[in-house]
Each structure stands twice: as structure tokens, then as C-alpha cells.
């Protein structure tokens, strides 16, 4: 999954697009080197020492990992759990909507 996310971040670097991650590892000290190893260049928030039962996943009602939310420029969740090409297609559709509003 990370290779596709890295390519999407690179492809859309000049677009109104942001990729945000939430990591469920329970050990923050072990997490930091792993983010570097995996070349995670986007913001990745730590879900806390409770791992998958941390505050972010609780607030967003996440029950499985990974869970992907695609949120539009108005903050509305427009798709959930799209991966790979389907994720990219959904993002591109939302970017087209932004362009249409200009």
C-alpha cells in the first residue's frame, strides 16, 4: 500500500491534495524509525499507546486497519476503503470538482 501512496503524493504534489495517516503501533519510539524506513513523507499521526483502540480511531469509528477515508475540500467524507486505482480515481474526481468551482 505504501508504494501507491508515495506515488500518489508525488503525482499530486502541486494539487490541493493531502494524505494523512494514523498509525496504530503502540510503541512511539519504535514507530519513528519505521516511518523513515517506509519513506512516509506525509503527516502520520500516532493513535497512542492503546494502538487500534486509541483516541483517533475511536473518534472516527475505525474498526479495521487500514481504513481509508476520502474527504473532499469541504470536509465531507465522500468515500471509504477505496484502495489502489479506485482510491486514485476517487481523489481525481474530487480534484476535478475543485477545478470546476474555480
Q: Would you call 100 exposed, middle or buried from its count of C-beta atoms within 10 A (0-12, 13-18, 19+)?
A: exposed
DSSP class of 18:
-
> Which CATH superfamily is 2-97 part of?
Glutaredoxin (3.40.30.10)
- The pair phi, psi for residue 58, each rounded to 5°, is -65, -45
Model pTM score: 0.84
Quote the percentage of the chain above a pLDDT of 70. Answer: 100
The arithmetic mean of pLDDT across residues 73-98, rounded, is 94
Tens of pLDDT, residue by residue over 20-53, are 999 999 999 999 899 999 999 999 999 999 999 9
Domain boundaries, the chain: 2-97
99 pLDDT tier (thresholds 50, 70, 90) = confident
Contact assessment for residue 59 and residue 32, using Cβ atoms and an 8 Å cutoff? no
For residues 63-71, give the mean pLDDT: 92
Amino acid at each position: 500500500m505504501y508504494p501507491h501512496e508515495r506515488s500518489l503524493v508525488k503525482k499530486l504534489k502541486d494539487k490541493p491534495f493531502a494524505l494523512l495517516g494514523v498509525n496504530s503501533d503502540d510503541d512511539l519510539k519504535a514507530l519513528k524509525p519505521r516511518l523513515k524506513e517506509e519513506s512516509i513523507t506525509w503527516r502520520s499521526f500516532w493513535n497512542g499507546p492503546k494502538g487500534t483502540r486509541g483516541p483517533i480511531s475511536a473518534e472516527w469509528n475505525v474498526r479495521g486497519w487500514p481504513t481509508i477515508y476520502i474527504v473532499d475540500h469541504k470536509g465531507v467524507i465522500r468515500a471509504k476503503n477505496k484502495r489502489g486505482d479506485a482510491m486514485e480515481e476517487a481523489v481525481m474526481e474530487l480534484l476535478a470538482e475543485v477545478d470546476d468551482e474555480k
